[in-house]
Amino acid sequence: MARLGVIDLGSNSVRLVIYEAKKDLRGPKPFRTLADEKKMAGLAAYVEAGRFTDAGIARAADILDGHLGIARNLDCDRVDIFATAVLRNCSNSEAAVSTIEEAIGHAIVLLSAEEEAALGLAGARIGQDMGLGTLIDIGGGSTELTVLAERGHADKDARSASLPLGSVSSYAQFVRLVLPDAQECAAISEHLRSLLADAGLSPAFRHRHFYGIGGSVRAIVKMQAQALAMPAKPARIERSALDALFGLLESDASTFAHAAVKAAPDRVHTLVPGMVIVRTLMAALGGEDVTVCKYGIREGYLMERMLRG
């Protein structure tokens, strides 16, 4: 058994998960989670004029240093750090990564959009019987879409697209206060539709059934349960439930806000932007529901880069 740490340096949160993994990779899930530590960093808000600021670099380095200390205390055999959109898309990406690496004394793997989508799909498939559909991964700074291949086709051939808009970047760009109003929601949706048009996605991305990974999708599910008196852990997001949440936001913002604080206290400001992204994708691509996957990019990275790599 090996004790392996994965640190996900995201646009919204920086998360350390420590796994105990078997050497024998047979079976649906050759690992178990030992520790899970998340810090909400909101790093996408530290991007100004396309550049990741010195304050953002210092914030990221401080949180990473703390996570590495936890991993050392728990005697990890190996710890990997990977970063996604917040550092990939900034104009000073190479310099920012290098400065953070020097500050913490540890390498950072900067994933491309294609790698992020592939690893997200690898994680989503763990212990999950997935049919045809489209996988959506709404991060803080980007949204990845992956067409699920037919059974028997290799995941490496899957078609994917990355849209430079996530829940945190939507909030930072379009929202003045905490909860966006109707006009701000419309602005987020319109911008996402323009990105979809520019991406020129093939008809293969259109599907009735979506699968979802990432914190924004899980926050919406929690909000459904809290605000709509649904089961504690709904298995999916239905378009009708999503419309009901928007109806509550528009008719009674106070009740919506209090429910959001209970459902997703660390994502109150990004919950509605995430909802807008999901609803816009469903409308544009013909989706009727989103099945929430248990695992995502961190587990995909663990399997593909640390256990098989």
Reply yes or no on whether the pLDDT at 15 is more than 70: yes
- The residue ranking higher by pLDDT, 214 or 60, is 60
- CATH numbers and ranges of domains, the chain: 2-113 (3.30.420.40), 129-292 (3.30.420.150)
Q: What is the pLDDT of residues 228-238, one digit of tens each?
A: 988 777 789 99
Q: What is the pLDDT of residue 152?
A: 43
Reply yes or no on whether the pLDDT at 158 is more than 70: no
pTM for the full predicted model: 0.90
CA angle 259–39–229, rounded 5-degree value: 20
Q: Name the percent of the chain lying above pLDDT 70.
A: 95
Report d(CA 142, CA 234) in Å as an integer. Answer: 25
**Helix crossing, 182-199 with 268-285: angle to 10°?**
50
Mean pLDDT of the chain: 92
In the predicted model, what is the mean pLDDT of residues 77-85? Answer: 96
Spell 94-129 as b/e; 16+ CB within 10 A means b.
Answer: eebbebbeeebebebebbebebbbbbbbbbbbbeee
In the predicted model, what is the mean pLDDT of residues 37-58? Answer: 92
Assign 155 a pLDDT band (cuts: 50, 70, 90).
Answer: low
Assign 109 a pLDDT band (cuts: 50, 70, 90).
Answer: very high
